[in-house]
């Protein structure tokens, strides 16, 4: 027995596994469940799971799947599915060939295979903080280092001057990663910002990994891609996903798109190792990719109403600072509290208003630089306008109570 | 323009991408398509894609999916799906709790997350060659080194003495990886061999990653797992898959199972980064996991007939050396040729018999040690007995013709 205990102490998991922090979005789950157990209704504004049904055609197409077999899809994707992506991009005025697109297991796998195609362990990637927290996990998995360029809520998360970004480039830098429209900020960078980033990349021989998961969910402009810029042709790798634009994250279908043939050859080799993306969902998404705008315009109009409801309510809360998001379905709000994590715990453990409370995500983990975002939260507006209005009222009451308690 | 060419030369994909060799199973695809274009029927014995329909209940259950939404599954899996895996393992006399099982995107993701949980870049994993070629790709992706222990077809791919294996252990060794039943050899290691490997692991503080994708497809014994051995409790990580036992590789569902809670915590963190395995297929597999043996016994009986057809035919070919496989649906055959790759090309480019030919996989890429396996092929017996008999006849004629040509 003693010997066995000794062994237990020696058998060690990897450092990369130790490095991964538990998801900031999911770590308050136990507290949330406890609140619900006490009979408190929790408005869930923490997870970016769209609460809108996907187009009925998705499940209908899957249910009409005729073969009796369920074979591997080809590693570079089912031909008709890839052709549907080609058509989808053509409507954005981007003329990709089928060999420029490889379907992936959601946007998540698209990120993993992209970063593996451009980095080796020890390399660096420039990222704008706050950013999608999973990038930290992918960095730990693939062994590269994220180097942050800080954006600030008080400055509308605006892109800093090129010189500020170039200061971060070292001999180990391989790429700049952007997410546009942005999770967690809701910012949308236009042609001007994208051109600045592409110019920096081309000047310094870097790739640009452009995560465009939320492409269609933009409130003040038309959907576009970094691939619309001619200068992006060689350096840009687009990470894409069907999850948000068709409200079907459980389908696990995304893609990597790039005009760079070397990148596509590298991604294809990785894709062969993991064999294939799910067969049924590739079929199911064919008609939606061929004709996407009907649906995406409808949900974008809905998200815009939600954005307005949340933003207007936050604007009226004393001491809260936020910027009007232009896309995706998130907003970052700076709160008049010392520590947003404590506030989130307070909301789940101590507070309720008419037997209701709210769960949001503390923003600190969306940053790399220690201390940043400590008094900020991310709200995912994935409830109806009516519920969001009520949730904002509960949040306002919670903030008041929290401040009173602290004084 | 000149400047642009300069950039093209500088922008480089990662070394890990360069390291990955194209799949040995898929690289002759263009030659095969050309043969088909010439009107030659090609018996496809190269890809391990079961040509047996999955249990009808799988697609039926998926088509009965009731929700209108298609949400993310929880990262640790849909509760009922995980419970079905628990029940499945219970029938193998393995009492796992739900927290000991995490569904993955096929066996492929199970391998990737397992190796990431135990290795850091630069670490070593011991592997028995010949082995499932994708392990090389996962090694390149995750940055570890595979250290081979050689098995030989002339020796029935028997496990070498413990001392032979221990010679390969260095301070950087983190785990031993086994695939049992074996792809590409069809060998099945019993309790004795598994115990030897586990003992080596426990003595040297290594993990054992046990790929049991083909668990049920065994012809001379009962299905089992390394987890049946009490001493495996702490060190073993099982990589599992629904793909072969339910003939549904396109479903992309597998799992990681381990009694080691630290490992499961590490895997869960990785699982959260990639969000979830496909929702519909997790649902679809619930009834099959709960009641698997009806189906698996039927297909195993069929694979056994195929094994016999292929093995008996190979036995009769002059100069061919092979061992009777005891499981999975592969066989390695040493051919009386200098270079199996040239023979495969000959079969596709020059040869046909009654307008028919055969595609098999040269075995060299299943080995690490240079030169090994050069005159060996892997046959996947994924056609009907009737077709296999015909294919073996074509192979025999091809070998004769090839030898005559060489003389």
**Residue A63 and residue A72: Cα distance in Å, rounded?**
18
Smallest Cα–Cα separation from A270: which of A149, A401, A105, A95? A105
- Which 154-183 residues of chain B touch chain A by CB within 8 A? 174
Residue A202 resides in a domain: yes
Considering the domain architecture, whether residues A332 and A388 belong to the same structural domain is answered as yes
The pLDDT of residue B49 is 86
Final residue of a structural domain among B291, B319, B345: B291
Smallest Cα–Cα separation from A129: which of A75, A183, A85? A183
CATH number of the domain that B124 lies in? 3.40.640.10
Is residue A5 over pLDDT 60? no
Residues of chain B with pLDDT under 70: 1-9, 24-26
**Residue B22 and residue A245: Cα distance in Å, rounded?**
33
Contact call for A109 and B75, based on CB within 8 A: no
Considering the domain architecture, whether residues B266 and B207 belong to the same structural domain is answered as yes
Contact call for B23 and A49, based on CB within 8 A: no
Considering the domain architecture, whether residues B230 and B327 belong to the same structural domain is answered as no
| pLDDT tens-place string over residues A202-236 | 999 999 999 999 999 999 999 999 999 999 999 99
Residue B124: in which H helix or E strand, if any? Answer: strand B124-129
CB A21 within 8 A of CB B266: no
**Residue A213 and residue A296: Cα distance in Å, rounded?**
13
The pLDDT of residue A7 is 46
CATH number of the domain that A325 lies in? 3.90.1150.10
Mean pLDDT of A234-254: 98
Contact call for B141 and A270, based on CB within 8 A: yes
Considering the domain architecture, whether residues B176 and B157 belong to the same structural domain is answered as yes
E strands, B130-205, are 145-150, 173-179
Nearest CA in chain A to B14: A118
Q: Does B63 touch chain A (CB under 8 A)?
A: yes
| pLDDT tens-place string over residues A312-339 | 999 999 999 999 999 999 999 999 999 9
Q: Which of A10, A59, A117 sits opposite B14 (nearest CB)?
A: A117
Residue A9 resides in a domain: no
Residues of A in contact with B274 (CB under 8 A): 105-106, 108-109, 112
Region for A149 from its dihedrals, namely left if φ exceeds 0, alpha if ψ lies in -120 to 50, beta otherwise: beta
Smallest Cα–Cα separation from B352: which of B36, B131, B111? B36
* Structural domain total, chain A: 2
Residues of A in contact with B279 (CB under 8 A): 250-252
Q: In Å, how far is B1's CA from the nearest CA of chain A?
A: 12
Q: In a mutagenesis test of the B interface, which of A14, A176, A365 is the best target, namely the one with the most B β-carbons within 10 Å?
A: A14
Residue B104 resides in a domain: yes
Q: What is the DSSP string of B75-98?
A: TT--HHHHHHHHHHHHHTT----G
User: Structure pTM?
Assistant: 0.95
Considering the domain architecture, whether residues B250 and B368 belong to the same structural domain is answered as no
Q: In Å, how far is B63's CA from the nearest CA of chain A?
A: 5
**Residue B65 and residue B58: Cα distance in Å, rounded?**
11
Is residue A9 over pLDDT 70? no
E strands, B186-230, are 207-211
Residue B248 resides in a domain: yes
Residue A351 resides in a domain: yes
Residue B134 resides in a domain: yes
Domain that includes residue B40, residue range: 22-48+295-406
State the average pLDDT for chain A.
95
Considering the domain architecture, whether residues A232 and A312 belong to the same structural domain is answered as no
Residues 6+ apart with CB under 8 A from B396: B313, B316, B317
E strands, A22-62, are 41-44
The pLDDT of residue A50 is 86
Q: What secondary structure, in 3-state letters, does B268-328 show?
A: HHHHHHCCCCCHHHHHHHHHHHHCCHHHHHHHHHHHHHHHHHHHHHHHCCCCCEECCCCEC
The pLDDT of residue B2 is 42
- ipTM, 2 dp: 0.95
- Which 3-62 residues of chain B touch chain A by CB within 8 A? 4, 7-8, 10-11, 13-18, 20-23, 26, 47, 49, 51, 53-54, 56, 58-59, 62
The pLDDT of residue A24 is 66
| pLDDT tens-place string over residues B300-355 | 999 999 999 999 999 999 999 999 999 999 999 999 999 999 999 999 999 999 99
Considering the domain architecture, whether residues B243 and B329 belong to the same structural domain is answered as no
Considering the domain architecture, whether residues B279 and B343 belong to the same structural domain is answered as no
Residue B110 resides in a domain: yes
Tokens encoding A29: 């789950």
Contact call for A278 and B281, based on CB within 8 A: yes
| pLDDT tens-place string over residues A275-301 | 999 999 999 999 999 999 999 999 999
Final residue of a structural domain among A291, A310, A332: A291
Considering the domain architecture, whether residues A330 and A390 belong to the same structural domain is answered as yes
Residue B170 resides in a domain: yes
Considering the domain architecture, whether residues A116 and A168 belong to the same structural domain is answered as yes
Is residue A26 over pLDDT 60? yes
Considering the domain architecture, whether residues B329 and B281 belong to the same structural domain is answered as no
Residues of A in contact with B7 (CB under 8 A): 202, 205, 234-235
Smallest Cα–Cα separation from B364: which of B193, B136, B156? B136
Q: In Å, how far is B265's CA from the nearest CA of chain A?
A: 9
| pLDDT tens-place string over residues A297-308 | 999 999 999 999
Final residue of a structural domain among B291, B318, B344: B291
| pLDDT tens-place string over residues B342-361 | 999 999 999 999 999 999 99
Residue B125: in which H helix or E strand, if any? Answer: strand B124-129
Smallest Cα–Cα separation from A289: which of A42, A120, A58, A9? A58
Is residue A74 over pLDDT 70? yes
Residues of B in contact with A174 (CB under 8 A): 14
CA A176, chain centre distance (Å): 16
Q: In Å, how far is A7's CA from the nearest CA of chain B?
A: 6
**Strands lying side by side in the sheet with B376-380:** B321-322, B330-334, B376-380, B361-362
Considering the domain architecture, whether residues A229 and A332 belong to the same structural domain is answered as no
């Amino acid at each position: 027995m003693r010997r066995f205990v000794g062994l237990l102490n020696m058998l060690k998991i990897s450092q990369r596994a130790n490095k991964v922090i538990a998801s900031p979005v999911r770590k308050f789950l136990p507290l949330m469940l406890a609140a619900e157990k006490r009979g408190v209704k929790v408005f869930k504004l923490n997870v970016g799971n769209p609460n809108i049904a996907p187009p009925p055609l998705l499940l209908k197409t899957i249910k009409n799947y005729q073969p009796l077999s369920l074979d591997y899809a080809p590693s570079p994707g089912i031909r008709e599915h890839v052709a549907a992506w080609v058509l989808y991009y053509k409507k954005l005025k981007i003329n990709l060939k089928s060999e420029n697109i490889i379907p992936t297991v959601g946007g998540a796998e698209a990120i993993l295979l992209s970063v593996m195609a451009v980095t080796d362990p020890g390399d660096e990637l420039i990222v704008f903080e706050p950013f999608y927290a999973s990038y930290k996990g992918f960095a730990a998995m693939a062994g590269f280092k994220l180097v942050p360029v800080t954006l600030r809520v008080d400055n509308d998360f605006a892109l800093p001057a090129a010189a500020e970004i170039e200061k971060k480039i070292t001999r180990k830098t391989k790429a700049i990663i952007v997410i546009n429209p942005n999770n967690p900020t809701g910012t949308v960078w236009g042609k001007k910002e994208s051109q600045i980033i592409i110019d920096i990349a081309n000047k310094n021989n870097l790739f640009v990994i452009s995560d465009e998961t939320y492409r269609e969910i933009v409130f003040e402009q038309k959907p576009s891609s970094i691939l619309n810029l001619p200068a992006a042709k060689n350096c840009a790798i687009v990470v894409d996903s069907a999850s948000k634009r068709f409200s079907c994250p459980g389908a696990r279908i995304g893609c990597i798109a790039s005009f760079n043939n070397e990148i596509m050859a590298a991604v294809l080799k990785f894709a062969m190792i993991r064999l294939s993306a799910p067969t049924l969902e590739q079929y199911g998404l064919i008609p939606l990719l061929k004709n996407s705008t009907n649906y995406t315009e409808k949900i974008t109009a809905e998200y815009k109403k939600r954005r307005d409801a949340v933003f207007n309510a936050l604007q009226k809360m004393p001491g809260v600072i936020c910027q009007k998001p232009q896309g995706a379905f998130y907003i970052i709000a700076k709160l008049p509290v010392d520590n947003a994590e404590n506030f989130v715990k307070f909301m789940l453990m101590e507070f309720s208003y008419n037997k209701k409370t709210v769960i949001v995500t503390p923003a600190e983990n969306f940053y790399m630089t220690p201390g940043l975002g400590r008094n900020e939260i991310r709200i995912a507006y994935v409830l109806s306008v009516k519920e969001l209005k009520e949730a904002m009222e509960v949040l306002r009451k919670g903030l008041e109570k929290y401040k009173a308690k602290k004084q």
